[in-house]
A and B are shown apart, each in its own frame.
Chain A
């Protein structure tokens, strides 16, 4: 057994039920709790899509091969596509965690310590923290693994002779730089640590550091790339790491060199400076052999005791009960970290948007019910309004959800503007019939966030509606380059082949009917004018009507809402929605007239509720007490409540 251990330096075996169980739990957690589909969906909303856009074809691959870091970038883009399927995405994350664990084992062994211990789970926990916050650090992880892999290959295969070793170092650094970009600095750092403290070759250590500094220069990127980007880009500005978890990625990247240095220094401190300096120059294998035979492992010292406590595999040396307790502790700490770092609010927001983009309206509303009470978010509100409209409930249930006076569905205030706001606004505008505005907004999304398949498809449809089939084809051909967009692109292209203007498509025909006809300077108009112009073009544009009504109600313009209800005759609905009736009742009460909606009397039950609400207000001593009483009485989702207290959804 001992011989076997010696022969497999560094050992890449994963053994033990605890390890298997740990990664199985990681897999399940990521799949079921984080949901990798939402991680993919967040690209273009929480972070840019540019770094994750993947095209099929040799040209795209060749472009990446040609630039430093391109190989890792290509792999990151490719793997990101797998997140479209939750189980595949979870597998990728779990695999990254496993690789991190192996990396710790290998680095630990290099420092002369056996595999195992709690530290081996640290990279996995850091990754879980990142993914729980809906970051996508796959590029940083791959870069890190490339650097680590390069380091391990270097220490394993580099020749002993100075000049040959130096040449290997230079070539290794160049290769790692070409494959993983700025992660080469990490490779160089670890090689320097190893050469200085383990192999005891200060000259090579200096050479390693020099290589790390020279690689961006030599490969000609530094002059065109910023300094920090050239040397520590993947640590400092990983495109997939969200600001809230910005420190975790550098922590993950620096963990390995810090671990290597700490273990060596820990041993050095333990054995004393003189003892360390007396040690002959040797390879890492020799260090390991000495470590295994106990030569360089002074058990009694405090320093090494700490190192061993952190790195040795308790199951081998301790009683089963202690081992189980240690393992349970690892699981507990990891699970707690993952659980506490799970951003449930972001998850719900993304879930709502995910379903909305797929027009699964019932799921949108189901997910919206999970939003914490009182939460206001423009993205959610827009999606909820769309879902309510498509399920025919906008006039009945809008105020069941949190609304805010002064906020609207058509523009996003700067403080709430996420990266995907353009695309979401574009979808809304397009559906309403403001096709030019939709085009403008979709182009902004394309330019600023990248060629998201959904944006490309949207732009294709916009151009179909605008009778520019050739341009639509360009967008569809671009979409077909995306593995996740190929099928949709193919289907639409086939339809364009048959009917280039798609005159026979009912959805296109409806959009053309609604498309605003009168030109004016867009985005300099009010929301009211924007919607009115749509109703001028097509008085039966039901969506424009309902959103105009929603707008009047949200901003509290009852006079305009009641006037707008005159358009009721253009639609063929059996019942007047609840909120419209509530607004008419309030308006009539204020005007002292009979409550009427589009020539019909308001439902008596609505009138009765208005009277009950008025009674609650009359008997309450303060505004706050009135709001609480009204909410308790079930008015929190009514327009009465919103109109009076400026909030809803209670």
Chain B
């Protein structure tokens, strides 16, 4: 055939070609139509097979207990703007029927042959929005041997107060000495969209850490960056622009005015336990506070924040910007070269505060706000609610790094009377890195409660009395998301919108040489220190 075509006179070639294309076009159209039809029929069949229509569960047998679901979304208080809490039913069954109902609006009914329940987002959002402050019932049924079982209703509550719509967190593997993949991601909590803020891969496998925002404002951000080849520093993003400061900031707190950032300069060493549940441990061999006047790009020491005889870290501002809170502990070792330092397991940090006048750039005298002697525990990571009512902090048996302390729990202090108590939301494992929402009604925090090894981000409602309600893990589209994720989601920061600076801008800034002097001599002992160091072999 082709041979015939090729021997055809040249003048006929064009016409033959067009005819061939017409034939081909019609055939292709027919093929596309038939394929589409077949796919539609197959999809409809598959849907019918999977769902099988709404079952009759009126005469279902009542099971006298709550159904087991994963993740545990029972008896929690939900933000009215949260993404659907997709879950998996951990009960036997051939088919499942879930009815989600509240006081206003039609219930959401889901029939599924799979135990994994995906809640339709538009209807979920409408239901939550219409029922703020009201209970939300989940009726779960499972069909076993042709008979439907109905479990007790899961009753959740929809809060009146929304949560900040974005969560910025760090995604890292279970790092010990070496890291390869560290990244900061942001997640739209009203849906499932996740994007990369900054990936360490852009820094020649560098490390990105300690992202902080002034208040909950995503327009400005500081991120620590470290790279063997590109150097260390801090990224400052402002709107869609970003620049690299040569100064590596440790734990950082923005002054509410956005004009000053206080940061710790830590000489950290890590070591490993031969026995016990947590292998890793960290000692601040030295730590002090410095601050950067952002407009001037100038770093100075915080007076008395870098004393010779004390360690100082974890700065946090009061919402009015008049007080800087931080944690401080005495050196318990005389030989600063000995490793591990003697009595490292007795180091306990107290909560301190110091007055600051941002206009005059003047510091007051530090005072002990809550003493470790009084609590018997090491006080770390203070964070004050934006309304100034509460202070949430970690306390653990000893040391400076609650993420590696299984004894670390969250405590809440009522700043009106300085009374404090352990929050109801703690587990037997480490809780740390809490962040307040801008309306002071939600906290996000890191917890290792899913087995004691991996860190996940949890959300908890804190009511006006300071009671924290049962936390729930940040929902994911795939309910089994966390079940096979060998990474940590940690350091959650709630913000009111997405980070403005694009990843490419941040990456470019991170690869640039840093501007400004390293600490400006503001290191606690005048050393250029790294916030993290490798130890051991």
Binding site for B on A (CB under 8 A): 3, 6-7, 50, 59, 220, 223-226, 411, 434, 436-437, 439-440, 443-444, 446-448, 451, 456, 459, 463, 466, 468-475, 477-478, 480-481, 515-525, 533
Contacts and interface: CB of A to CB of B under 8 A. Distances in A.
Interface in B488-524: 503-505, 507-508
18 contacts: A3-B3, A7-B2, A411-B537, A437-B272, A437-B274, A444-B176, A466-B277, A470-B451, A474-B454, A477-B483, A480-B484, A516-B275, A518-B274, A518-B275, A519-B276, A520-B274, A521-B271, A523-B536
Contact of B275 (A3, A436, A478): A436
Nearest to B505: A223
B275 to A, nearest CB: 4
B66 interface: no
Interface string B431-454: 000000000000000000011111
Interface string B444-479: 000000111110000000000000000000000010
B172 to A, nearest CB: 8
Contact of A223 (B2, B201, B280, B507): B507
Contacts of A451: 486
A474 B483 contact: yes
B451 A533 contact: no
A447 B179 contact: yes
A523 B340 CA distance: 11
B204 interface: yes
A475 B202 CA distance: 28
B177 interface: yes
A435 to B, nearest CB: 8
Contact of B504 (A224, A443, A468, A473): A224
Contacts of A440: 176-177, 272, 279-280
Contacts of A436: 272-276, 279
Contacts of B275: 436, 515-520
Nearest to A476: B484
Contact of A524 (B178, B179, B204, B340): B340
A493 to B, nearest CB: 11
Contacts of A226: 204
B486 A456 contact: yes
B485 interface: yes
B118 to A, nearest CB: 14
Contact of A463 (B204, B453, B536): B453
A616 B6 CA distance: 91
Contact of A447 (B176, B279, B339): B176
A521 B507 contact: no
Contacts of A59: 478
A473 B483 contact: yes
Contacts of B483: 473-474, 477
Contacts of B279: 436-437, 439-440, 443, 522
Nearest to B179: A447
B133 interface: no
A528 to B, nearest CB: 14
A444 B201 CA distance: 18
A103 to B, nearest CB: 24
B486 A224 contact: no
Nearest to B274: A522
Interface string B239-261: 00000000000000000000000
Given A224-B199, A224-B202, A521 B273 contact: yes
A469 B453 CA distance: 11
Contacts of A446: 173-174, 486
B180 interface: yes
B478 to A, nearest CB: 7
B272 A521 contact: yes
A434 B201 CA distance: 33
Contact of A477 (B176, B277, B452, B484): B484
A471 B406 CA distance: 15
A471 B202 CA distance: 31
Contacts of A3: 3, 6
B3 to A, nearest CB: 6
Contacts of B536: 522-524
Contacts of B340: 521, 524
Nearest to A519: B275
A44 B260 CA distance: 46
A367 B210 CA distance: 50
Nearest to B448: A471
Contact of A522 (B174, B202, B272): B272
Task: Give chain B's interface residue range (CB within 8 Å of chain A).
Answer: 35 or more
A225 B536 CA distance: 32
Contacts of A516: 274-275
B394 to A, nearest CB: 22
Nearest to B507: A224
A480 B3 CA distance: 54
B178 A447 contact: yes
A3 B1 CA distance: 12
* Cβ-closest 5 pairs across A and B: A470-B451, A477-B484, A223-B504, A471-B451, A471-B453
Contacts of A434: 274
B497 to A, nearest CB: 22
A519 B199 CA distance: 36
A5 to B, nearest CB: 12
Nearest to B7: A3
A473 B454 CA distance: 12
A249 B61 CA distance: 67
Chain B CB count within 10 A is highest, among A444, A478, A516, A518, for A444
B175 interface: yes
A210 B505 CA distance: 24
Given A468-B453, A481-B484, A443 B175 contact: yes
A211 to B, nearest CB: 21
Given A444-B176, A448-B178, A524-B339, A471 B454 contact: yes
B152 interface: no
A238 B288 CA distance: 44
B156 interface: no
A434 B272 CA distance: 12
B13 interface: no
Contacts of A475: 486
A225 B174 contact: no
A336 B452 CA distance: 56
B450 A522 contact: no
Contacts of B480: 477
Contacts of B75: none
Interface string B148-182: 00000000000000000000000001111111110
Nearest to B510: A224
Nearest to A222: B504
Nearest to A417: B537
Nearest to A472: B451
A50 B176 CA distance: 18
Interface in B1-42: 2-3, 6
Given A224-B202, A456-B486, A474-B451, A447 B173 contact: yes
B537 A523 contact: yes
Contacts of B271: 521-524
Given A223-B504, A523-B537, A471 B276 contact: no
A524 to B, nearest CB: 7
Nearest to B181: A447
Chain B CB count within 10 A is highest, among A7, A443, A477, for A443
A466 B2 CA distance: 72
A458 to B, nearest CB: 12
Contacts of A515: 275
Contacts of B202: 224-225
A163 to B, nearest CB: 19
A329 B393 CA distance: 78
Nearest to B280: A440
B231 to A, nearest CB: 15
Chain A CB count within 10 A is highest, among B6, B274, B483, B486, for B274
Given A7-B6, A225-B202, A436-B272, 18 more contacts: A7-B2, A7-B3, A224-B202, A226-B204, A440-B272, A440-B279, A443-B175, A444-B176, A447-B175, A447-B178, A447-B179, A456-B486, A471-B454, A474-B453, A474-B486, A522-B271, A522-B279, A523-B272
